[in-house]
Structure 1
């Protein structure tokens, strides 16, 4: 099997877009293209990175509202 990115180490030979060039050698814009994407950027069922921030904002807004009214 031929190395799909000979100038940069990539022992797994990952090529998510199937263009024959290893992912570590792809331009950042190229990784957006030719592969199925279901809209989920993380493991199913896991919390989103923004969830704790949104929760704190909601709690803060409720506390402020309760003090004013």
Structure 2
């Protein structure tokens, strides 16, 4: 693996981790008991952006890895 491929794979893994945390946060927000306690964190947008980053970065690094 070239250094840029490794950097993209690490960044994609971090994005996937952030997406998992945001998914858990969004799930907890949807299942809250007190509906008046709304949060300030945009979990859905954070999940979507980090998931797209993870898919793109891991896809590009996997394409370069499998082409060898």
**Does the pair score TM above 0.5?**
no
Question: Normalising to structure 1: TM-score of the pair?
Answer: 0.31
* Relative contact order higher in (CA < 8 Å, ≥ 6 apart): 2
Q: Which one has a larger percent helix, Structure 1 or Structure 2?
A: 2
Specify the structure having the higher radius of gyration (Cα).
1
Question: Normalising to structure 2: TM-score of the pair?
Answer: 0.31
